[in-house]
Structure 1
Amino acid sequence: MLMRSLGQGVLAGAAGVVVMTVAEKVEQRLTGRPDSHVPAQVLERLTGLPERRSRARNLSMHFGQGALLGVVRALMANAGLRGPVASAMFAVVRLTNDQILENATGVGAPPQTWPRKELAVDLLHKGVYAFATGLVADALAARSGPGPGQRHAALRPGRHSDVGPIARTGR
């Protein structure tokens, strides 16, 4: 499942970043909000590169981070965590990852200190990324059939102490 999730996740995450980027550009046209240079600044701090506003670095971090995080969503999908609820859970993972990197490098501040409008825009775009990534990851995982969690749920819907784990397969 891990190897399958690696390829599927990078593809799903890259697709999610493309959709998020298009949504950001549309929003920026409507609101006049400038581009963010935070991804490049985080990358520069993490790697020790000199700090400058490099579009290439910005795009590298923006797309690289999204593609790599897509692996988490593909793992979720292959385990049987699919659909909108799984994508909502994944949105929290994406937001948490951003905040860890931005705050650990000193590039960002905790979201509760942000202006509400800025926070709303960030939540919107990360939600777009999470749901777009989820759609692709779920579709790719579905080609292999139901995941272990889905097979377990099929035994008896819900969570019950009298329903044990599903049988192991393919060892």
Structure 2
Amino acid sequence: MKIHEDNALGALGSAIGRGLLAGLAATAAMTLSQMIEMKITKRESSNAPVKVAKETAGIAPASPEEKPKLNQEIHWSYGTAWGVARGLIGLTGLKGLPATLIHFGAVWGTSLVMLPKHNAAKPIDEQEPKEIAIDALHHGVYALATGLVYDALDAGSRRERKLRKVANDLKTLIAKFK
């Protein structure tokens, strides 16, 4: 049985799967970055995920004691899901820094619009430069980690092998003419 090599649905599924894994790893990196920063700055944990979830989906903790747990569940789910966007970017053929910058812009840009809209953060023009820098740092850690993991998972793809073969064939051809 011959498998069709240009399977668009298979490529989409693979990109989404790699994106989810990359998003999960990046959420872990961002969480670690936030934990270190909060220890240094003495900043309290944000409850933005719960605020947005309550306003947009009607999701609320069953009790005040459940709030931190729900906040973390939403944080991890949201961060993991944003990995899908990186997978879709990967389908365009972009990788490395260009793909990471696009992903960073999408993730942080959404945060800058969505959180103030749902009263989970001040608009950027009302924040102190230090707050903006910290937020950009954490979202940068997220985007960078997503990109590194995604590109590592994608390195053995059929498209990558095909490009390597073309490059090697080209090198061989050039060597013959020298």
TM-score by length of 1: 0.79
What is the DSSP-based 3-state SS (H/G/I as helix, E as strand, rest coil) of the residue aligned with 2:157? Answer: coil
CA positional deviation for 1:145: 4.2
CA positional deviation for 1:141: 1.7
Q: Higher mean Cα deviation, 27-36 or 130-139?
A: 27-36
How far apart in 2 are the matches of 1:29 and 1:104? 28
1:142 paired residue among 136, 155, 178: 155
Is 1:5 equivalent to 2:15 in the alignment? Answer: yes
Indicate the RMSD between aligned Cα atoms, in angstroms: 2.2
How far apart in 1 are the matches of 2:60 and 2:84? 29
Query: In terms of Rg, which structure is larger?
Result: 2
Counterpart residue identity of residue 29, structure 2: V
Is 1:75 equivalent to 2:85 in the alignment? Answer: no
Find the counterpart in structure 1 of residue 70 from structure 2: 57
How far apart in 2 are the matches of 1:120 and 1:11? 27
CA positional deviation for 1:28: 1.1
Counterpart residue identity of residue 107, structure 1: A
- Identical aligned residues as a percent: 33
Find the counterpart in structure 1 of residue 57 from structure 2: 47
Gaps of 5+ in 1: 155-171
CA positional deviation for 1:50: 4.2
CA positional deviation for 1:29: 1.1
Counterpart residue identity of residue 75, structure 2: H
Counterpart residue identity of residue 36, structure 1: S
TM-score by length of 2: 0.76
- The within-5 A match list for 1:113-124 is 113-124=126-137
| CA displacement, residues 25-54 of structure 1 (integer Å, 9 cap, x when unaligned) | 111111111111111111111112347571
Q: Higher mean Cα deviation, 120-129 or 70-79?
A: 70-79
Gaps of 5+ in 2: 1-10, 168-178
1:132 paired residue among 145, 154, 175: 145
Greater fraction helix: 2
Find the counterpart in structure 1 of residue 31 from structure 2: 21
